[in-house]
Amino acid sequence: MKHLQAFALVLLLVISACTPLDQVQISTSDQRLKEFSTSEQLTAFLKEHQDQQGGNYGGPFMMAARDAVENEGSGAPVASPTAQKSADSNAGRSYSQTNVQEEGVDEADIVKNDDRYIYTLTQNKLVIVDAYPPTTAKIVTTLELAGNARDLFINKNRLVVFTDLYPQYYALGGVTRGMMEDTDVASSPPSSGSGEGEIGAASKIAMPEIWPPQPYQPPRTGVLIYDTTNKEDPELVANYTVEGNYLQSRMIGDYVYVIAQNNAYYGGGPMPLPAIKAEDQLIMESPVYYFDNWEPQINFNSIASFNVQDVEDVNLQTFMLGYANTLYVSDKNLYIAYQKQIPYAYYEQDQKSRFTEIIIPLLPNDLQQTMYGLLASEEDFNLVQQRMYEALETYYNKLDAEERQELQTKIDKALQEYEFKLQEERMKTVIHRLSLQEGIVKYEDKGEVKGNLLNQFSLDEHEKYLRVATTVDFWGSQGSQSYNNVYILNDNLKVVGKLENLAQTERIYSTRFIGDRLYMVTFRQIDPLFVIDLSDVEAPKVLGQLKIPGFSNYLHPYDENHIIGLGQDTVEEQGRTTTGGLKIALFDVTDVNNPKEEAKLIIGGQGTSSEAFYDHKAFLLDKERNFVIFPVSEVKNGNWEHVWQGAYVLRVRPDVGFTVQGKVTHATYDPAKPYDTYSTQVRRALYIGDVLYTLSPKKIKMNDLRDLQVEHKTITLPYKDEVYGPIMY
């Protein structure tokens, strides 16, 4: 009886899910890139597809008021009083630069420096510090910025700041087209004596819907370019706004590329093309490029380029794609990647396929023909379903117990295999390649790989090939399933080589592509470090692996035979794996077939962490002087009430390992502000000459790198204290 109920349930589910063939269609439109060159074309397209988008574009007249006057500032700064003039810079002094993924491709950060000056952002202020020599260091400029300051670049005598802007507009909305076009009503005079005719009646209906005007704040990205020839009085030479939320940016040579995203949902009214403005002037509009078989959730992905040395050299291209969550940029290409979104119709088709492709082939030939014939029938589908059910029930009741069990086992196995393949198909990453050349952005190609990306280090371009590392992780009928893949794609983003099903039951925690090798860390209970050979693009292979406790969240090359891993230690307790303190390790990969852990250092206890776990720009390595610096929030003995925060300065050498040279903290306990820890949280470290500069939102502290006990000076940044109470649960 139990088996009969189980079999009947399966059949009821799959049959009830079967819809007529002509009601389910998966798009087969071509993959060629198309273009909207006018607002009318874009509006018509989004209006046609609004029912499939699951929302609207922020309400009526969302973008129609783009040229309206903003209530908030446009991003232009106000200069604070500046200090005295600075002496000329000393050429040739060594200084650190931002830790980036690709040489020659700079990444914006909250602080930049040259061999004398530090440029930093704190609490929506741009601060320029004459930092060297440290004994005379001082703030020379403070600029208030409108909006939310994100990060910045420096390029010779130019400085670029990015801000989030949310200008407030007021717009009317809710007027129906019928009301606006009903000329008979609109032209009818009021009836005598009442002051209220048909036009008044129409107003009674319309006015509550359109009045009062409603505020809204469309996202904008501010791009401020300064001439910093005079550090005490930087000149704002360009003030641009790009429509959309600031995502990321890169700088290659003199060109800055900014990626902004905006919802492409339609909610009524005209949809202007995405644009760049300078102050209140429209500089240029961008055509919108798209694919005809568009995705369920689409966004305007705008890529703006600016020549920082020639501020009139501006370009904008907009692509209607999925929501980009991973960006990778080489010196020639920009890759936009995101998880593939499956149309709802696909799930309907999936239910039908379970029956037609899995169940029916397991039935006797004569019953198969009956099922296919009924599915192709043009009769009322409810009647067809009833006939299918009766035929299946008759067949099942003729089976003996052993035959029923055998059929049920086959169905269970087939459905499990089908579910596994289906989950793989659903869990894919879409990758778009756009070429970059002197500010010109050109769409090139798109591709797909199985699995999801961890971060930008999951992608790497090498000799015209894109290498990708992914994790497939899902919950199926057999419980949690996970494994990892490596793919090599050509410049058309077609897979030419692959290595799949690595480290089953584990997922990727960090990756680093270096030359013809991939170093990959996965984790579940132990930390396998894989060394993978990518020299044969058609046949990547595992050379060796090392299994040790813990895992690395970030991998950084030390030299051609050593890799630094920064992450967490793990501890086995009563059959369970728990995280321990922060762990930094040096891996020796001289023998690629037998990598080994050359040295390690554990800092703090459970809960100890570092911003460098998830932001590589917080990690600083000086190979020449063999020191590594990163911020640490250190928890000791599980006591969360006493957390030390600051920068750890380590010496590292393969023959010696790690030694702690010193620690620098900005924290000072103030009984009046017991919960104010953010303002003194060290986030970055840099050096100029032999001076170490550590930065928190509130301070810049200067210590001698040769002897960290020697503190040259501390500068207090223009940070307004905010007192927060304890978090209550």
Which of 140-144, 226-230, 398-402 has the least mean pLDDT? Answer: 398-402
Residue 99 has pLDDT above 50, yes or no: yes
Which one, of 180, 181, 198, lies nearest residue 189 by Cα? Answer: 198
Residue 4 has pLDDT above 70, yes or no: no
pLDDT-derived band at 382 (thresholds 50, 70, 90) equals confident
Which one, of 255, 233, 73, lies nearest residue 149 by Cα? Answer: 73
**Per-range mean pLDDT, top range of 66-70, 160-164, 545-549, 671-675:** 160-164
pLDDT (average), residues 185-191 = 38
Distance between CA atoms of residues 131 and 152, nearest Å: 18
Distance between CA atoms of residues 28 and 48, nearest Å: 18
pLDDT tens digits, one per residue of 127-142: 999 999 999 999 999 9
Which of 59-73, 394-408, 567-581, 685-699 has the least mean pLDDT? Answer: 59-73
Say if residue 20 is preceded by a cis peptide, omega within 30 of 0: no
Neighbouring-strand partners of residue 462: 465
Q: Is the dihedral of CA 146, 149, 155, 157 positive or negative?
A: positive
Residue 591 has pLDDT above 60, yes or no: yes
pLDDT score, position 16: 47
Residue 84 has pLDDT above 60, yes or no: no
- Residue pair 487/531 in contact by the 8 Å Cβ criterion: no
- Collapsed DSSP state (helix, strand, coil) of residue 305: strand
Percent of the chain with pLDDT over 90: 62
Distance between CA atoms of residues 323 and 453, nearest Å: 14
pLDDT (average), residues 340-369 = 79
Cα 398 → chain centroid: 57
Percent of the chain with pLDDT over 70: 79
pLDDT-derived band at 678 (thresholds 50, 70, 90) equals confident
pLDDT tens digits, one per residue of 196-205: 444 444 444 4
Residue 71 has pLDDT above 60, yes or no: no
pLDDT score, position 672: 58
What does the block give as tokens for 368? 């198969």
- Collapsed DSSP state (helix, strand, coil) of residue 457: helix
Distance between CA atoms of residues 248 and 439, nearest Å: 16
Residue 505 has pLDDT above 80, yes or no: yes
User: Following DSSP, what letter does each residue of 290-340 receive, concatenated?
Assistant: EESS--SS-EEEEEEEEETTSTT-EEEEEEEES---EEEE-SSEEEEEEEP
Residue 462 has pLDDT above 60, yes or no: yes
Which of 74-88, 105-119, 312-326 has the least mean pLDDT? Answer: 74-88
pLDDT score, position 193: 44
Report which residue type is found at 460: D
pLDDT score, position 728: 45
pLDDT tens digits, one per residue of 247-264: 999 999 999 999 999 988
Query: CB burial class (10 A; 0-12, 13-18, 19+) of residue 361?
Result: exposed
pLDDT tens digits, one per residue of 277-299: 998 899 999 999 998 876 777 89
The sheet with strand 428-437 has its strands ordered as 326-329, 333-339, 428-437, 440-450
Distance between CA atoms of residues 453 and 337, nearest Å: 8
What does the block give as tokens for 432? 């778009």
Residue 507 has pLDDT above 50, yes or no: yes
Q: Which residues contact 109 (CB under 8 A, 6 or more apart)?
A: 98, 151, 152, 617, 684
Cα 430 → chain centroid: 13
Distance between CA atoms of residues 546 and 535, nearest Å: 21
pLDDT score, position 715: 98
Domain positions in the chain: 2-30+343-424, 50-59+169-177+207-225+236-323
Which of 228-237, 382-391, 462-471, 484-493 has the least mean pLDDT? Answer: 382-391
Residue 723 has pLDDT above 80, yes or no: no
pLDDT tens digits, one per residue of 558-584: 999 999 999 999 988 777 888 999 999
Which one, of 641, 553, 659, lies nearest residue 601 by Cα? Answer: 659
Q: Please give the model's pTM, rounded to 2 decimal places.
A: 0.84
Average pLDDT score over the chain: 84
E-assigned strand segments in 372-458:
428-437, 440-450
